[in-house]
Amino acid sequence: MGLLDFLLDLFTGGTRQQCPACGTADARRNRAGQIRCKNPVCQYFDPRIAPRGAGTVIPTRGSFHPAHPLTIRYKNFAGQDREFIFELNLVFRQKNHFVGTVAPTGRRISLSRDRIQNLSEVESQLPASVVSQSGPTPRENQILAYHKKHGTTSPLFEKIRAKYPD
Ligand SMILES: [Zn+2]
């Protein structure tokens, strides 16, 4: 890697080339060999190089860049494929959802496991404690809420609290 390549990366955001995943022209490859693509449904999608307002509802502004990126491919209610980059260390499970902080906005979003397209890949990267933590059931939530509201306690309440320390 020469100085010229380095400077080119710096000014162009990477070497231009066709995306190897989806074929979109004008994808970029940086010095580390990572592909960045402006196609919102591509696995290499990077909103930073996408044209503004390019027909996507994915928020493209923000400065949150996960140190440990976890890519989640997701089919939304409308049947559209979306890709989200989460910070791996901030993902937790809430019932049947994974909740996490997403690039680039740093917003917290919640994704149903049922619609995660690469679920096994995602779960293999998450700590087992996160994957198996299924959160309080509706009944348990009711009990928790009741005692919190009334400032009371019960053996069952204590048991549920011990199960879900948050
Ligand atoms: Zn692509």
Which residues of the chain register pLDDT less than 50? Answer: 1, 53-56
CATH match for 61-131 among 3.40.50, 1.20.58, 1.10.287, 2.30.30: 2.30.30
Spatial CB neighbours of 43, under 8 Å, sequence gap ≥ 6: 21, 22, 37, 71, 73, 83
Distance 7 CA to ligand 1 centre (A): 24
Kindly report, residue by residue over 57-94, the tens digit of the pLDDT.
555 678 888 999 999 999 987 788 899 999 999 999 88
pLDDT attached to residue 56: 45
The residue extents of the domains of the chain are 61-131, 136-166
The two counts, helices (H) then strands (E), for the chain are 5, 8
**Residue 54 Cα to ligand 1 middle (Å):** 15
Question: How far is ligand 1, taken at its centre, from the CA of residue 128, in Å?
Answer: 31
Whole-number Å distance, alpha carbon 79 to ligand 1 midpoint, is 19
pLDDT of residue 12: 57
Distance from the alpha carbon of residue 60 to the mean position of ligand 1, in angstroms: 17
Cα(first)–Cα(last) distance of the chain, in Å? Answer: 49
Residue 2 falls in which region: left (phi positive, over 0), alpha (psi -120 to 50) or beta: beta
pLDDT at 54 (0 to 100): 45
**Distance from Cα 17 to the centre of ligand 1, integer Å:** 10
